[in-house]
Structure 1
Amino acid sequence: MAQFFTPKKSSQQPQHIECNVDTLDHHCVGIGRHEGKAIFIEGALPGERVKVRLTEQKKQYAHGQLQKIVQAAPERIEPFCPHYRECGGCSTQHMTLAHQHEAKQQGLRTLFARLGGVTVPPLEPVLTGAEQGYRRVCRLAVKYDKGSRRVQLGFRRRQSSELVEVHACPVLESALSTLIAPLRAQLERLKHPRDIGHVELIADDQGVLMLLRHTGRPNEHDRQQLMDFADAHKLDLYLQSGDAGEGSVPCEPLRQTRTPVYRLGELSLSFAPGDFIQVNRSVNQAMVERALAWLDVQPGEKVLDLFCGVGNFTLPLAAKAREVVGVEGEMSMVRRAQHNAEQNGIGNVRVYKADLAADITDLPWAREGFDRVLLDPARPGALEVMPHIVKLAPRRVVYVSCNPVTLARDSKVLVNAGYRLRRLGMLDMFPHTGHLESIALFEKE
């Protein structure tokens, strides 16, 4: 079955080739070869012959955009979303979930061997959940078209900054997906819709909240329109306005009926709009349970939780340990994690602010002893703090990662220091995307 993908606009004459696809990388991107050079082709499957427009060429490899499938693989399936071929979100809907898992797991093994030189044990069963309707957080791009005077609301086009307008999204929780169409209509009724930067929708355990980024200061008409919309749809509404950098702009509540919270077992964790929380609630619960099981914390032991956020791992760990010390780079998150501990009646947690990419040697908490360490860094990984973890010499380390490249790299530091990779598994936090999240257990030999 031939399929066509929208080409990216370019002022240069593109180079088109035809090649066979041999394998997939850890992002589920097809890899073929042409004149001895590896060609990375999103949307292509092994066993296929494809026509490709080359978009980027390097000495050893090139990136290409799929133009036509000359011969399709028998494993190819029909995507469930009508926006699949344009939207930059779910790039692997042409594969079954089992096929996605297989490709990502093979990529995980390959990265550990190539970047870390680490012997990989048999991989654990994939932690997975619902294939659709799993996202409780999304960011929608907004664009005002002057010619038609219409507001477009949707996601960024694949390999482009252009916007793909959507009226619903099948991977969002239904409470978020059903808001997209009426929200677009509401934005069109504003006097100054062009000042809307983006919209975040978040489903907590009590309802939905909306964070709206405004590049100026909305007038009274627009503020009232937004509050009326929030009231009609029973949303809590927050506004981020002004010209300052996005991270430094405070959130103003326009309609607030509660503190946002999500549940984690018997725990209730509060957060603020703009805080990082895991988007997949069922996989997050399973991930925390696996991390605790692998750490195997004993009642008299002390645990260090690095990059602790609002306490997603910190608070569950506190039920197992004598004491837990959490460390986070943002003071607002530090306060939130400590508040969450207090609200849940947990008295054996301390949380500190620290830049974990800097030298932490002389910080008081860093000179304490710890029996176990858990870390959950952002995509850049935790290379700078790995030597300090080695110095602490905990018996077990659990590393939760959203980037297998930096996980494999950082693992080498632990293995070279006498730790052994005991367990490794994939977390399917983002089905139908190229994201690969994983969890690893290291034990001192």
Structure 2
Amino acid sequence: MSEPTDNFPAPQEPSRDLPPGWLEVTSMDMDAQGVARRPDGKVVFIDGALPTELVSANTHRKKNNWEQASLTAIHRESSQRVRPGCPHFGLHAGACGGCKMQHLDASAQVAMKQRVLEDNLWHLAKVKAETILRPIQGPTWGYRYRARLSVRYVAKKGVVLVGFHERKSRYIADMQTCKILPPHVDAMLMPLRALIGSMAARDTCPQIELACGDSVTALVLRHLEPLCDADKDQLRAFAAQHGVQWWLQPKGPDTVHLLDEGGEQLAYGLPDFGINMPFRPTDFTQVNPHINRVLVTRALRLLDAQKHERVIDWFCGLGNFTLPIATQAREVLGVEGSEALVARSRENYKLNQAQRPQGQALATTDFVARNLFEMTPETLIADGVADKWLVDPPREGAFALSKALADIHQARLGAEDAPALPAGHEGWQPPGRIVYVSCKPATLARDAGLLVHQAGYRCTAAGVVNMFPHTAHVESMAVFERAV
């Protein structure tokens, strides 16, 4: 388990004298632990506790200024506490670690994530959004269309386990159901256990990766040894019975291939833009397709690309934002670190261009592969002037990109420690608007600090995207406007 970070919400002082051993929970941290304070001032992180509750807890880890503890009794229950929707959720031995907040009302989860976003922006970067965007929400159950399920044959018990890991453990939870998976996948968990248990390769299949498209469910079986013909036949029979498509992975991700060629292609649609996105089951796509559709629509509404504008989509992946932008802008550039994803983006662009109705062609669009964690003012200027940017980085954020932008701005202001401007900078101008889609509030805050305090931007809006209900994972979106 990771140690608590320094940017957790500060617990308030207890509101009253409490009986010995009782704690008043005043907030939640980034790991969905209740946060309280002992009379001597020491902070206590309590698994399973919710804000406003009076609780008792058993400490299992101590440091100089904080402790970690597990809930043992609730003396005053939060009005936001609800019954978990899954029997495998909880603090009991063997509980599944896939979710952390099923005991908290779904609306309260979103409010907590919004507060986490605002706290990170302010405490880490001294940035306050001028407008708070309405949270993007969707189904709270059956939403997880991407998942990596661990597999293990337990010889002593004669059973196969398929699922997520137990809380704070390397062991696989004995899951018989999972309500965050789509219902048809949830219904397959026990049949999958039976399938693996009947195979000769049951000891050498450590993982099944799930990837659902709009009409195809793909399962990628990781196998450490070649599969015999009988095992392959069993996979085919399972596929026919449950309507899935098997892919095999004998080694690394580049070895993934269909068990049998043919069949419908794995893909998802963005109907608001008339875009269809084919993908391979190991490509990065959003876990929650319902939220992704709303996310793309809102991001493009905030970006507001015009027919005369050039737009750059940084960290473009498969083109999830790039192709919709190409329905609105004059010219688009998609930049991505993976050569394989760039190749897939180009294929998706050609496919969608060919399928567009007459008179509705996509804008001229190019894709390039580049290490976006090593961006400099020189490489930034070489990509040319863009009216607007869409930035959608991984958890590491877009520090190098933000810093390159800040370095150019500071150099033009004549700042003492700014690097020299590269050749050809005279005609280059920064984008007037940046829409930043983030999957980690801390790195968004870090980059926002650069954009606002050193690159000449205002943070005009920010809000959360509840991509992962019942987890502590916080996705968000922020808009930056160039200050005039």
Instruction: Please indicate, yes or no, whether the TM-score normalized by the shorter chain is above 0.5.
Output: yes
Q: How does 1:55-94 map to 2 (within 5 A)?
A: 55-85=60-90, 86-94=95-103
Q: How does 1:73-152 map to 2 (within 5 A)?
A: 73-85=78-90, 86-152=95-161
Work out the CA distance in 2 between the residues paired with 1:155 and 1:274.
18
User: Secondary structure of 1:90's partner?
Assistant: coil
Work out the CA distance in 2 between the residues paired with 1:318 and 1:106.
34
- Contact 1:230/1:255, CA 8 A, preserved across alignment: no
Per the alignment, residue 291 of structure 1 pairs with 299
Work out the CA distance in 1 between the residues paired with 2:447 and 2:363.
32
Cα distance, 1:136 vs. partner?
A: 1.3
TM superposition score normalised by structure 1: 0.91
Q: Once the two structures are superposed, what CA deviation does each residue of 1:342-372 show, in whole Å capped at 9, x if it has no partner? A: 1000451111111111145554884311111
Per the alignment, residue 7 of structure 1 pairs with none
Cα separation, partners in 2 of 1:116 and 1:184, compared to 1, 3 Å: same
Q: Once the two structures are superposed, what CA deviation does each residue of 1:192-226 show, in whole Å capped at 9, x if it has no partner? A: 21101111122211221111111222222222222
Work out the CA distance in 1 between the residues paired with 2:379 and 2:227.
44
Q: How does 1:2-41 map to 2 (within 5 A)?
A: 19-34=23-38, 35-41=40-46
Cα distance, 1:69 vs. partner?
A: 2.9
Per the alignment, residue 260 of structure 1 pairs with 266
Q: Once the two structures are superposed, what CA deviation does each residue of 1:370-404 show, in whole Å capped at 9, x if it has no partner? A: 11111111111111221234445100001100101
RMSD of the TM alignment (CA)?
Answer: 1.8
Cα separation, partners in 2 of 1:216 and 1:324, compared to 1, 3 Å: same
Cα separation, partners in 2 of 1:281 and 1:367, compared to 1, 3 Å: closer
Q: Once the two structures are superposed, what CA deviation does each residue of 1:98-146 show, in whole Å capped at 9, x if it has no partner? A: 2112211122111111001112334111110112111212221111111
Q: Once the two structures are superposed, what CA deviation does each residue of 1:42-92 show, in whole Å capped at 9, x if it has no partner? A: 321122233333344443333323333344223311111111111112211
Q: Which amino acid aligns with 1:419?
A: Y
Give aligned pairs, total: 425
Work out the CA distance in 1 between the residues paired with 2:376 and 2:446.
21
- Contact 1:116/1:412, CA 8 A, preserved across alignment: yes
Per the alignment, residue 368 of structure 1 pairs with 384
Cα separation, partners in 2 of 1:429 and 1:316, compared to 1, 3 Å: same
Work out the CA distance in 2 between the residues paired with 1:43 and 1:353.
44
1:410 has 2:447 as partner: yes
Work out the CA distance in 2 between the residues paired with 1:115 and 1:363.
28
Work out the CA distance in 1 between the residues paired with 2:132 and 2:55.
32
- Tell me which moved more, 255-264 or 108-117: 255-264
1:326 has 2:334 as partner: yes
TM superposition score normalised by structure 2: 0.84
Work out the CA distance in 2 between the residues paired with 1:189 and 1:295.
53
Q: Once the two structures are superposed, what CA deviation does each residue of 1:171-207 show, in whole Å capped at 9, x if it has no partner? A: 1112221221111111110012110111112221122
1:442 has 2:480 as partner: yes
Q: Which runs of 5+ in 2 are unaligned?
A: 1-20, 354-361, 409-428
Cα separation, partners in 2 of 1:382 and 1:59, compared to 1, 3 Å: farther
Q: Which amino acid aligns with 1:79?
A: P
Cα distance, 1:409 vs. partner?
A: 1.0
Work out the CA distance in 1 between the residues paired with 2:322 and 2:63.
44
Cα distance, 1:232 vs. partner?
A: 2.7
1:52 has 2:57 as partner: yes
User: Secondary structure of 2:313's partner?
Assistant: strand
Q: Which amino acid aligns with 2:304?
A: D
Work out the CA distance in 2 between the residues paired with 1:279 and 1:366.
34
Q: Which of residues 334, 338, 358 is equivalent to 2:346?
A: 338
Q: Which of residues 207, 211, 225 is equivalent to 1:202?
A: 211
Q: Which amino acid aligns with 1:368?
A: G
Per the alignment, residue 3 of structure 1 pairs with none
Work out the CA distance in 1 between the residues paired with 2:446 and 2:459.
13
- Contact 1:26/1:105, CA 8 A, preserved across alignment: no
Per the alignment, residue 422 of structure 1 pairs with 460
Per the alignment, residue 13 of structure 1 pairs with none
User: Secondary structure of 1:156's partner?
Assistant: coil
1:172 has 2:181 as partner: yes
What is the aligned-residue identity percentage? 35
Q: Which amino acid aligns with 1:425?
A: G
1:377 has 2:382 as partner: no
User: Secondary structure of 2:148's partner?
Assistant: strand
Rg bigger for which structure?
Answer: 2
Q: Which runs of 5+ in 1 are unaligned?
A: 1-16
